Structure 1
Amino acid sequence: MTQFGKGCHLHLIDGSAFIFRAYHALPPLTRKSDGLPIGAVSGFCNMLQKYVEDNAGPDAPTHVAVIFDKGSHTFRNDLYDQYKANREAMPEDLRPQIPLTRDATRAFNIACIEKEGFEADDIIATLARQAREAGGAVTIVSSDKDLMQLVGDGVVMLDAMKNKIIDRDGVFEKFGVWPDRVVDVQALAGDSVDNVPGAPGIGIKTAALLISEYGDLQTLLDQADTVKQPKRRQTLIEKRDQIELSRRLVQLDDQMTMDDVTLDDLEVREPDADTLLAFLTDMEFRTLTKRIAISLNAEAPAIPQTAPQAATTEEAPDLPPIDPAAYVWIKTADDLTPFIAQAHQRGWVAVDTETTGLNEMTCDLVGVSLAIEPGQACYIPLIHRATATDDLFGNDDLAEGQMPLDDALALLKPLLEDPSVIKIGQNMKYDAKVLSRYGIGITPIDDTMLMSYAMHAGLHGHGMDTLSDRYLSHTPIPIKSLLGSGKSMITFDRVPIENAVKYAAEDADITLRLWMLFKPQLHRARVTRVYEGLERPLVPVLADMERAGVQVDRETLSRMSNAFSQKMAQLEDEIHELAGEKFNVGSPKQLGEILFDKMSLPGGKKGKTGAYATGADVLEDLATEHDLPGRVLDWRQISKLKSTYTDALQGHINPDTGRVHTSYSIAGASTGRLASTDPNLQNIPVRSEEGRRIREAFVAPQGRALVSLDYSQIELRILAHMADISALKQAFRDGLDIHAMTASEMFNVPMDEMTPDIRRQAKAINFGVIYGISGFGLARNLRIPRSEAQGFIDRYFERFPGIKTYMADTTAFAKEHKRVETLFGRVIHTPEISASGPRAGFAKRAAINAPIQGTAADIIRRAMIRMPQAIAGIPATMLLQVHDELIFEVDTGAEDDLIATAKRVMEGAAEPVVKLDVPLVVDAGKGRNWAEAH
Structure 2
Amino acid sequence: MQKGDHLFLVDGSAYIFRAYHALPPLTRKSDGLPIGAVSGFCNMLWKLVEESRETSVGVAPTHFAVIFDHSSTTFRNALYDQYKANRQAPPEDLVPQFAVIREAVRAFDLPCVEKQGFEADDLIATYTRLAVEAGGDVTIVSSDKDLMQLVGPGVILYDQMKDKRLGPQEVFEKFGVYPEKMIDLQALVGDSSDNVPGVPGIGPKTAADLLGAYGTLENLLENAGEIKQAKRRESILAHAEQARLSKRLVTLDQHTPLEVGLDDLFIHEPDGEKLVAFLKAMEFTSLTRRVTAKLGTDASAVEAAQVDVTAPARGPDLDPGGTPGGEKTGSHLAMTPAAHAAERLQAEAATPVDRSTYETVRDEARLEHWIARARETGVVAFDVETTSLDAMRADLVGLSLAVAPGEAAYVPIAHVGEGGGDLLSDEAAREGVGAQIPLGTVLDLLKPLLEDPAILKVAQNAKYDYLVMRRHGVETAPLDDTMLISYVLDASSSLEGHGMDELSERFLGHKPISFKELCGSGRTLKPIAAVAIERVSEYAAEDADVTLRLWRVLKPRLAAEGLAHVYERLERPLVPVLARMEERGIRTDRQILSRLSGRFAQKAAGLEADIHILAGEPFNVGSPKQLGEILFGKLGLPGGKKTKTGQWATDARLLEDLAAEGHDLPRRIVDWRQLTKLKGTYTDALPTYMDAEDRIHTSYSMASTTTGRLSSSEPNLQNIPVRTEEGRAIRTAFVAPAGHKLLSADYSQIELRLLAHMAEIPQLTEAFRQGIDIHAMTASEMFGVPVEGMPSDVRRRAKAINFGIVYGISAFGLAAQLSIPREEAGAYIKRYFERFPGIRDYMDRVKLFCRRTGHVETLFGRRAHYPDIGSSNPQVRAAVERAAINAPIQGSAADIIRRAMVRMEEALAAERLSARMLLQVHDELVFEVPDDEVEATIPVVRRVMERAADPVVELAVPLVVDARAAANWDEAH
Aligned residue for 2:78? Answer: none
Q: CA deviation at 1:658?
A: 2.1
Aligned to 1:364: 395
Contact 1:551 1:700 in 2 (8 A): yes
Cα 1:457/1:108, change in 2 over 3 Å: farther
Identify which of 813, 816, 830 aligns with 1:777: 813
How has the CA–CA distance of structure 1 residues 711 and 476 changed in structure 2, closer, same or farther, with 3 Å as cutoff?
same
Q: Aligned ranges for residues 116-515 of structure 1 at < 5 Å?
A: 283-285=323-325, 309-310=334-335, 312=337, 313=341, 314-315=344-345, 316-317=347-348, 320-390=351-421, 396-398=429-431, 399-458=433-492, 460=495, 461-515=497-551
2:468 match: secondary structure? helix
Measure, in 2, the Cα distance between the counterparts of 1:522 and 1:592: 51
User: Matched residue of 2:732: which SS?
Assistant: helix
Q: Which residue of 1 aligns with 2:904?
A: 867
Corresponding position of 1:542 = 578
In 2: Cα distance, 1:599 partner to 1:876 partner: 57
Tell me, yes or no, if the aligned pair for 2:519 and 2:526 is still in contact at 8 Å. yes
Which of 840, 845, 853 is matched with 2:890 structurally? 853
Q: Which residue of the partner structure matches residue 217 of structure 1?
A: none
2:918 to 866, 879, 899: 879
| 2:782 maps to 1:757 | no
- Aligned match of 2:556 in 520, 524, 542? 520
Residue from 913, 921, 925 that aligns with 2:960:
921
When residues 365 and 843 of structure 1 are mapped into structure 2, their CA distance, relative to the original with a 3 A threshold, is same
The range that moved more, 545-554 or 822-831, is 822-831
CA distance in 2, matches of 1:534, 1:409: 30
- For 1:170, the equivalent position in structure 2 comes to none
d(CA) in 1 for partners of 2:332 and 2:484?
24
Structure 1 residue 609: Cα displacement: 2.2
Per-residue CA deviation, residues 567-601 of structure 1 (Å, 9 max, x unaligned), is: 00111111112122111111111111111222222
Instruction: Describe the SS at the equivalent of 1:894.
Output: helix
Equivalent residue number for residue 696 of structure 1: 732
Does residue 629 of the first structure (1) align with residue 660 of the second (2)?
Answer: no
Unaligned runs of 5+ in 1: 1-31, 37-94, 117-280, 288-302
DSSP-derived class of the 2:868 partner: coil
Q: Is the 8 A contact 1:33 1:307 kept in 2?
A: no
Change (3 A) 1:577 1:456: same
Residue identity matched to 2:486: S
CA distance in 2, matches of 1:286, 1:874: 51
Q: 1:833 to 1:113 in 2, by over 3 A?
A: farther
Aligned partner of residue 965 in structure 2, secondary structure: strand
CA shift at 1:97, angstroms? 7.5
* Structure 1 match to 2:600: 564
Distance 1:453 1:345, change over 3 A: same
Q: Supply the distance in 1 between the matched residues of 2:748 and 2:349 (Cα, whole angstroms).
A: 51
Aligned mates of 1:758, 1:641 — CA distance in 2: 31
Report 1:723-802 matches (<5 A). Answer: 723-802=759-838
1:678 to 699, 707, 714: 714
Contact 1:311 1:521 in 2 (8 A): no
**CA displacement, residues 173-207 of structure 1 (integer Å, 9 cap, x when unaligned):** xxxxxxxxxxxxxxxxxxxxxxxxxxxxxxxxxxx
1:894 aligns with 2:927: no
Tell me the residue number matched to 2:752. Answer: 716
CA contact (8 A) 1:357 1:491 kept: no
Query: In 2, Cα distance between the equivalents of 1:498 and 1:736?
Result: 68
Q: Distance in 2 between matches of 1:603 and 1:454?
A: 42
Give the Cα–Cα distance (whole angstroms) in 2 for the partners of residues 426 and 888 of structure 1.
Answer: 29
CA contact (8 A) 1:35 1:308 kept: no
How far has the Cα of 1:926 moved from its partner?
1.1
Percent identical among aligned pairs is 54
Deviation at 1:285? 3.7
The residue matched to 2:932 in structure 1 has which SS? coil
Q: Letter of the aligned partner of 2:571 in structure 1?
A: E
Residues 491 and 864 of structure 2 are in contact (CA less than 8 Å); yes or no, is this contact kept in structure 1? yes
> Quick check: 2:322–2:331 contact (8 Å CA) kept in 1?
no
1:910 aligns with 2:946: no
Deviations 1:157-179 (A, max 9, x none): xxxxxxxxxxxxxxxxxxxxxxx
State the 1:487 CA deviation: 2.1
Q: Distance in 1 between matches of 2:844 and 2:331?
A: 39
C-alpha deviation, 1:34, in angstroms: 9.8
- Please give the alpha-carbon distance, in whole angstroms, between the structure 1 residues aligned to 2:878 and 2:475: 46
Of the structure 1 ranges 329-338 and 779-788, higher mean CA displacement relative to structure 2 is found in: 779-788
Aligned with residue 654 of structure 1, among 663, 672, 691: 691
Q: Distance in 1 between matches of 2:770 and 2:788?
A: 17
Structure 2 residue aligned with 1:707: 743
Q: Output aligned runs, 1:576-591, within 5 Å.
A: 576-591=612-627
C-alpha separation in 1, matches of 2:329 and 2:399:
38
**Change over 3 Å in CA distance of 1:468–1:33 after alignment to 2:** farther
Cα pair distance change 1:599/1:310, threshold 3 Å: same
Secondary structure of the 1:767 match is helix
Q: Secondary structure of 1:698's match? A: coil
Structure 1, 734-743 or 387-396: larger mean CA deviation: 387-396
Tell me by how many angstroms 1:715 deviates. 0.3
Separation of aligned partners in 2, 1:384 and 1:567: 50
Maintained 8 Å contact 1:319/1:374:
no
2: CA distance, partners of 1:307 / 1:777: 45
Any idea what SS the aligned residue of 1:322 has?
coil
How far is the alpha carbon of 1:833 from its aligned partner?
A: 1.2
Q: Structure 1 706/284 Cα, relative in aligned 2: closer, same or farther at 3 Å?
A: same
TM-superposed CA distance for 1:475, in Å, is 1.5
In structure 2, the residue corresponding to 1:608 is in which secondary structure? coil
Q: Take 2:674 and 2:419, find their aligned partners in 1: how far apart are those partners? A: 44
- Structure 2: how far apart are the matches of 1:305 and 1:450? 21
CA RMSD in angstroms, aligned pairs only? 2.8
For 1:353 and 1:107, the matched residues in 2 are separated by 50
CA drift at 1:756: 1.6
Q: Offset at 1:515?
A: 1.5
* Paired residues of 1:874 and 1:898 also in contact (CA < 8 A): yes
Question: For residue 653 of structure 1, what is the amino acid of its counterpart?
Answer: M
Aligned residues: 664
Once the two structures are TM-superposed, the CA of residue 693 in structure 1 deviates from its matched residue by: 0.8
CA offset digits 1:770-818 (Å, max 9, x no partner): 1111111211222222111111111111110000000000110111111
Matched letter for residue 480 of structure 2: D
- Give, in whole Å, the separation in 1 of the partners of 2:962 and 2:712: 22
Q: Which residue of 1 aligns with 2:682?
A: 645
Structure 2: gaps of 5 or more residues: 1-82, 88-197, 213-226, 232-320
Closer, same or farther: CA 705–517 of 1 in aligned 2, 3 Å? same
The 3 A distance-change label for structure 1 pair 826 and 557 is: same
Contact 1:416 1:441 in 2 (8 A): yes
Distance in structure 1 (CA, Å) of the matches to 2:865 and 2:561: 12
**1:129-180 alpha-carbon deviations (Å, 9 max, x no partner):** xxxxxxxxxxxxxxxxxxxxxxxxxxxxxxxxxxxxxxxxxxxxxxxxxxxx
Letter in 2 for 1:839: V
User: 1:418 is matched by which residue type in structure 2?
Assistant: D
